[in-house]
Structure 1
Amino acid sequence: MFCPADRPERFASALARADGVIIDLEDAVAASAKTAARGALIDADLDPERVIVRVNPVETPDFEADLATLSQTDIRTIMIAKAESAERIARIDGRYRVIALCETARGVDAVERIAALENVTALMWGAEDLVASLGGTSSRKPTGRYRDVARYARSRVLVAAGAQRKAAIDAVHLDIADVRGLAREAADAAASGFAATACIHPTQVAVIRAAYRPAEKQLSWARDVLVAAQREGGVFTYRGRMVDEPVLRHARTLLRRAEDGR
């Protein structure tokens, strides 16, 4: 869950509600408040294993100030806003694990090179900055569904992450009241292979967790098909469906996700 860095009074409650917190030094903090926000981050008592800090783009002076701030903390996972240059990301201090936020046209175009970097551990995408970088005005249709260009970027980031065996994080759902839309997108993210979905409000956490938690019917199928695979071996038919190794991998993923969610 994202949390503005200039609202330190929210840090503890965010960590209590979400699996991890992205403390935002970029868009969520006005330029005039960034210095105070960095001071608040230094003073905060945070679990470095559950905190990510979204820093400003590497091309900006604020990026160096952000890293100087983090050097005074134990936090070592950073999210690079508007990640575009694989060369510059590769030169980041090796102490930091990088989540590259590919949210511009140039970032999506470079996503395969960024994903291949040794210091990049995960990728995320963002719809609004992407559309703004293209000169557009909205990432979604009047129905609330993503426009094709956003869906393309989402897929490209997911595939690039998967090709490098790294995690992909799905974008935030900005319409907090649209619970149905969030649930639909989070369920699609989980089924497609995203490792997580980011959010911006505490009420969204439970919806996302439910979407990633396999239903009992799915788990029953997964257990049964894996037992059948031990008996049958090779390719076989189960409940009218052909089953081979990719299908068995789906089943193992469901069981692993259920185990991880406990």
Structure 2
Amino acid sequence: MSAGSHPAFTMGPAILFCPADRPERYAKAAARADAVILDLEDAVAPAGKAAARQAMLDTPLDPARTIIRVNPVGTDDFPADLEALQGTGYTTVMLAKTEAVGQVRQVGGYSVVALCETALGILNAPALAAEENVVALMWGAEDLVASLGGTSSRHEDGRYRDVAVHARAAVLLAAGASGKAGIDSVYIDIPDAEGLAAESRDAVASGFAAKASIHPAQMPVIREAYAPDPAAVVRARAILAAARTAHGVFSFEGQMVDEPLLRHARQLVARAGE
């Protein structure tokens, strides 16, 4: 697999977390999102873990559009999660608080979204991305800052603090270097659709294949951000057409166009399904 491509991850850009102990929400989540993350970890209280696993068994979703977030390796719930998964048709797991390749290998029978949300996980992201069964890396801002002893991943104006900006870039670069998908972290200020839209536009422009979310109302905002602007697609097609008769670097509407710009154009046209 070449760097910069991620064919193994085809679930779409708008991904929604759903607490696994709330089966009455499963169908609505699946209807609203491109893919659903059934969460057996943070969204479920310790006393509700067993019930969440049973709900996952009793209320199946489409495996092609479902990711199961299991509890971290080393917790008592991790082996119970894996045992329950064996009774389902699900093939993709999100491994919470992934920090080492040995943890990924404990779910060797599954496609893995490695969730890098601790300092060690961020630092080991390149090695995690290189594992054969890893299809994507995601980063988690709040758990990361908590692991460092901090109290907030963002400034009061909504901008990420420098450590979060670094972690976000590090995970995306690690994913891209191994040809895997990067998934952007959730936007927790649910009423702030404008902030979510801006962050989602930045995610797609930077190269994230998808953005995770925590509320169904965030789905259309993310989808709109990932939908290519029609005028930009028209321009990209024109650049590619001009390149067919050009020799090396050329000028298009006053802009220098070389191979990196052609790759941008090809990726934009591909996102438009053309």
Q: Distance in 2 between matches of 1:154 and 1:116?
A: 18
Residue of structure 2 equivalent to 1:19: 34
Residue of structure 2 equivalent to 1:149: 163
Q: What stretches of structure 1 of length at least 5 have no aligned partner?
A: none
Determine if the alignment matches structure 1 residue 113 to structure 2 residue 127: yes
Residue of structure 1 equivalent to 2:70: 55
Residue of structure 1 equivalent to 2:245: 231
1:163-189 per-residue CA deviation (whole Å, 9 max, x = no partner) reads 000000000000001111100100000
Q: What stretches of structure 2 of length at least 5 have no aligned partner?
A: 1-15
SS in 2 for 1:225: helix
Q: Distance in 1 between matches of 2:109 and 2:89?
A: 10
Q: Distance in 2 between matches of 1:76 and 1:214?
A: 30
Residue of structure 2 equivalent to 1:125: 139
Match of 1:245 among 259, 265, 273: 259
Determine if the alignment matches structure 1 residue 173 to structure 2 residue 187: yes
Q: Distance in 2 between matches of 1:45 and 1:170?
A: 26
Shift of 1:91: 3.3
Amino acid at match of 2:82: L
Residue of structure 1 equivalent to 2:208: 194
Residue of structure 2 equivalent to 1:36: 51
1:141-162 per-residue CA deviation (whole Å, 9 max, x = no partner) reads 0111100100000000000000
The one of the two structures with greater contact order (alpha-carbon pairs below 8 A, sep at least 6) is 2
1:22-51 per-residue CA deviation (whole Å, 9 max, x = no partner) reads 000000000000001100101112111100
Q: Tell me the percent identity.
A: 60
Q: Distance in 1 between matches of 2:118 and 2:225?
A: 27
Determine if the alignment matches structure 1 residue 68 to structure 2 residue 73: no
Give TM-score, length-normalised by structure 1: 0.97
User: After TM superposition, which residue ranges in structure 1, 4 or more long, deviate above 6 angstroms?
Assistant: none
Determine if the alignment matches structure 1 residue 7 to structure 2 residue 29: no
Residue of structure 1 equivalent to 2:93: 78
Q: Distance in 2 between matches of 1:176 and 1:80?
A: 25
Q: Distance in 2 between matches of 1:55 and 1:109?
A: 21
Q: Distance in 1 between matches of 2:231 and 2:185?
A: 28
Q: Distance in 1 between matches of 2:106 and 2:82?
A: 13
Q: Distance in 2 between matches of 1:21 and 1:68?
A: 21
SS in 1 for 2:63: coil
Residue of structure 1 equivalent to 2:113: 99
Q: Distance in 2 between matches of 1:91 and 1:22?
A: 20
Aligned length: 259
SS in 1 for 2:163: helix
Amino acid at match of 1:126: G
Residue of structure 1 equivalent to 2:217: 203
Q: Distance in 2 between matches of 1:25 and 1:41?
A: 9
Amino acid at match of 1:84: E
Give TM-score, length-normalised by structure 2: 0.93
